Structure 1
Amino acid sequence: MLTGQMVQDYSMLHEKLRPDMNYDIIERPLFIGGRAAFFYCVNGFVSDENIQKIVQFFLGVKGSEMPKEAEAFAESYAAYGDVVLKQDISSLITAVLSGLGILVVDGYDSGLVFDIRNYPGRGVQEPEKDKVLRGARDGFCENVVTNTALIRRRIRDPRLRTEMFQVGDISHTDVAVVYMEGIVRKELLMKIKHRLKQMKVDALTMSQESLAECLYRQKWFNPFPKFKFSERPDTAAAHILEGGLAVLVDNSPSAMILPASIFDMAEAADDYYFPPLTGTYLRFSRILISLIALLLLPLYVLLMQNPQWIPECMQFIKPAEEINVPIVIQVLILELAVDGLRLASVNTPNMLSTPLSIIAALVLSDFSVESGWFNSEVMLYTAFVTVANYTQTSYELSYAIKFFRILLLLLTALFNAWGFAAGLIIPVWAAASNRTIGGMSYLYPLIPFRWKELKNRLLRPRIRHRTEE
């Protein structure tokens, strides 16, 4: 706690912030109204112009004008920026390290905290992942204040709430919960706020993923994603208006959307930027392609193990060349190779992307078939499945489909038709037994069945105009 005695308060702040060792901590001694004072901030988090305005204004205060209480001083002379009073030393230190400026004045047992942050960061350009053919081209950035502003720009309603929390005993990461009061599900809101307040963690080292693992600890082995991540403000705003909420983490350019069912994962912004018929077609195409991506390769392995099941009109699907390596081994090698190329493309500098593309084309080309390791039919079906994975807007859902596809492949190869049947039951069971963070079924509104809501999930509904009574 601040004592109001400058010698003691200065020594406590100086010992914790150590501006003599940290070149980016600014410690500015001042005399305000004949009293000793110190201003603290982090260089790079605030602009020099803001510091100059605050310091220049306080230097003009006369000793006869100094109030006895810090509250009166803040009301009379702190005219620049958002100002709050704090007495706790740890709160003042956290404020400085969060980008705020603090002013402690001799004789006052409270410090003035100025919100004059000006974080360095990139703009709100369209995200690389959540692109659309039509619609807004802005996206979230790493600044949580900017991200909340992007949502409020779309929802100009006084019921929109943006509550801020600090999570992490060391990192003190800002976490904003955005929702519509009166529309949000109260049970979900109370549960999220309670878990954020009771969360015991040192730091959110990986931003949203660290927070997600702390919020939802059950059934980590179930690959179906429990959260929907989006870098689009319009997607987050639409979900908020439907009764959900968005969790924004500072330093993360995406929003966690809660609650998220499997139908939420399958939706995309393009569904609503086109007419209802086109949007419904896009949604059905995405769902159908995902099912094909799950079943195509295991079904092909099953038919190759049981060639007598192949009808006469489908005999062309049999490999034309000699099979040197078992088909299931070929598929597993190609699955691993595709993931390897994906990781390589992420870590490859732009100047080397062309050589990587050439090498990838050589690896997955006729040379692979001519070497005898792979059959052209397996290469074709694997290529289709690889492209199909990119139809999903959610990376987590596409990898969940991939994991279940590999499991289905292994079960089919080991136990034939019975393994294929078991491999179909496992993902259905995993989805049915899964729960959203709000406790609802992951398959809602299919389980429990609600036809009206299910129809809106499968078909792109029209925007209905309210009629005034």
Structure 2
Amino acid sequence: MEETMAPKTRVSKKFDENAEMLKNVLGIGVSYDVAWREFEIAGKKAAILFVDGLIKDLPIVEIMQNFAFLERENLTPNTLHKLLAKYVTYVKAAPTDKLEDVVNKVLAGFLALIVDGMEEAILIEARQYPGRNPEEPDIERVVRGSRDGFTETILFNTALIRRRLRDPRLRTEILQAGVRSKTDICVAYLEDVANPDLVKTIKQRIMDIKIDGLPMAEKSVEEYITTGNWNPLPQVRYTERPDVAADHLLEGHVLVIVDTSPSVIIAPATYFHHLQHAEEFRQNAFIGVYLRWVRFIAVFASLFVLPLWYLFSIEPQLLPASLKFIGVEKHGEVPLLLQLIIAEIGLDMIRQSTIHTPTPLATALGLIAAFMIGDVAIKVGLFTAEVILYLAVAAVGTFATPSYELGMANRIFRLFLLLMVGALKLPGLIIGIGAVLILVARTKPFGVPYLWPLIPFNWAALKHLLVRPTLPMKNIRPSILRPIDTTRQPSAAPAKKRLPRKIRNQNRLSGKKN
């Protein structure tokens, strides 16, 4: 873009000069989807410019009908003002005197009107992106609750949030990144709640993105705003549910919504944010506590069951007599550690194969993997039966983790612990767990400690983390976010103290207010 048109190139009064420049830049006549329609308005040459497929047909028809019977005296003097006031009847229309703005807006789905003799073009927002209707997200399903989810259209996503938060202080600022893609990125926050420094940091990091394009949308943006590194822990949370996004806005988080992505970024996020699920708050508090603890146990199992079982298998003297049944009587021809590594890689192969397999065949693939491959591997001696059992327990724990990104990180940690146990046995497990804890404790997305409220310790927040509170009890926003307004349920204002009657009478006589 910068190579073909200077940023300060202005709209010319001469229609032919504008036409030549825009046709060269946009490849009109070469690109079949860029439309240039010339006609006359009150005897003046005019044209509309748009990208076919990104705009509604009806506004084009209505605008051209309005121009069909105009005479010159209808538009003179002050042609621009009269066009905008009387004949361009669409809701969102604005002039621009920069050809660069015309090109950028047309590629974003706007309709541009160029008229001979006018030093400004009129940009009309009549875009209609191809997209799907809101549907329930596959990975955040609930038994009871709303069934709408974010889509690939940024305007739909902000509308879904606005529907749940009708607060005039909700801000949805639009930014752009990518020299060629010019991807729309929305930063959403509650102005009187979110920490201004956090909002400023996120916006600045988005504006600092220097790359030709962001076709991978939210994931590419995440790596820029978190100053991407090799830490496997997810430093932001993703959601495809508008209710989850709205709830985090009320806590003081900031949302990053990227056009073409149905996943919204919630920043910042701690380890425990990734363990929460909307289902807990769609049931009563007692059931919510039960579901939360089942999930905690599943995540613990996904991390530690397999390394602990392997340790007890190679060091059976660590087990008390009542637990001697844990382990294997015969390790087989293949070393146990190699069996575990092969099984872990095989599980990932099955998962990826399921993703790439058409839905009607995915069930058949799972049956083949579970029964045929697993059963035959045990019978021929490649695996022991216990390896398959404990790997399945770990896999179930991984799939029970609400955050897909955290589940993948925990899988990497599990492999690391297995290798440490294989190398150093019990000391290896202790060193491995210590290394993982140090990594987690040192992770600070946007300056927020990843293990808060455990490190640094905050009993009030930790209590609500361990036991899902009832909503009347959930009246304080997370202090670690440093929100402007810390209270979600402010108590009623204290009653005004009534003055004694004698003083009220004296005030009334003197003209003072009681």
Farther-moved stretch of structure 1 (295-304 vs 85-94): 85-94
Query: Where does structure 1 differ by over 6 angstroms across 4 or more consecutive aligned residues?
Result: none
Does residue 146 (structure 1) correspond to residue 170 (structure 2)? The answer is no
**Aligned match of 1:429 in 419, 425, 438?**
438
Farther-moved stretch of structure 1 (355-364 vs 179-188): 355-364
5+ residue gaps, structure 2, are 1-9, 473-488, 494-514
**Distance in 2 (alpha carbons) for counterparts of 1:268 and 1:390:** 13
Does residue 94 (structure 1) correspond to residue 104 (structure 2)? The answer is yes
Does residue 65 (structure 1) correspond to residue 89 (structure 2)? The answer is no
- Please name the residue that 2:508 is paired with: none
**Aligned match of 2:326 in 317, 320, 329?**
317
Q: CA deviation at 1:71?
A: 4.5
- Please name the residue that 2:486 is paired with: none
TM-score (normalised: structure 1): 0.96
Measured on the aligned residues, the alpha-carbon RMSD in Å equals 1.5
**Distance in 2 (alpha carbons) for counterparts of 1:449 and 1:354:** 45
**Distance in 2 (alpha carbons) for counterparts of 1:454 and 1:329:** 40
**Aligned match of 2:346 in 331, 337, 351?**
337
Determine helix, strand or coil for the equivalent of 2:325.
helix
CA contact (8 A) 2:218 2:261 kept: yes
Determine helix, strand or coil for the equivalent of 1:316.
coil
CA contact (8 A) 2:188 2:254 kept: yes
Letter of the 1:332 counterpart: I
- Please name the residue that 2:451 is paired with: 443
**Aligned match of 1:21 in 21, 30, 37?**
30
- Please name the residue that 1:463 is paired with: 471
Does residue 128 (structure 1) correspond to residue 141 (structure 2)? The answer is no
**Distance in 2 (alpha carbons) for counterparts of 1:447 and 1:75:** 61
Does residue 4 (structure 1) correspond to residue 28 (structure 2)? The answer is no
- Please name the residue that 2:428 is paired with: 419
**Distance in 2 (alpha carbons) for counterparts of 1:466 and 1:397:** 35
**Distance in 2 (alpha carbons) for counterparts of 1:456 and 1:355:** 43
5+ residue gaps, structure 1, are none
Q: CA deviation at 1:467?
A: 4.5
Farther-moved stretch of structure 1 (88-97 vs 139-148): 88-97
- Please name the residue that 2:380 is paired with: 371
**Distance in 2 (alpha carbons) for counterparts of 1:344 and 1:363:** 16
- Please name the residue that 1:258 is paired with: 267
**Distance in 2 (alpha carbons) for counterparts of 1:253 and 1:283:** 26
Does residue 407 (structure 1) correspond to residue 416 (structure 2)? The answer is yes
Cα 1:101–1:84 change in 2 (3 A) is same
Q: CA deviation at 1:75?
A: 3.1
Residues 63-462 of structure 1: pairs in structure 2 closer than 5 A: 63-66=72-75, 67-68=77-78, 70-71=80-81, 73-218=83-228, 220-436=229-445, 438-462=446-470
**Distance in 1 (alpha carbons) for counterparts of 2:302 and 2:224:** 31
Determine helix, strand or coil for the equivalent of 1:380.
helix
Determine helix, strand or coil for the equivalent of 2:161.
helix
**Distance in 2 (alpha carbons) for counterparts of 1:399 and 1:140:** 23
CA contact (8 A) 1:412 1:419 kept: yes
CA contact (8 A) 2:63 2:87 kept: no
Letter of the 2:148 counterpart: D
Percent of aligned positions that are identical: 35
Q: CA deviation at 1:72?
A: 5.0
**Distance in 1 (alpha carbons) for counterparts of 2:470 and 2:217:** 36
CA contact (8 A) 2:310 2:327 kept: no
**Distance in 1 (alpha carbons) for counterparts of 2:438 and 2:121:** 57
**Distance in 2 (alpha carbons) for counterparts of 1:118 and 1:315:** 66
Q: CA deviation at 1:350?
A: 2.9
Determine helix, strand or coil for the equivalent of 1:406.
helix
**Distance in 1 (alpha carbons) for counterparts of 2:298 and 2:364:** 31
**Distance in 2 (alpha carbons) for counterparts of 1:318 and 1:441:** 38
Q: Which has the larger radius of gyration?
A: 2
CA contact (8 A) 1:151 1:233 kept: yes
Q: CA deviation at 1:94?
A: 1.3
What per-residue deviation string (whole Å, max 9, x for no partner) do you get for residues 226-254 of structure 1? 11111111111100111111111111011
Q: CA deviation at 1:197?
A: 1.8
Letter of the 1:158 counterpart: P
CA contact (8 A) 1:71 1:85 kept: no
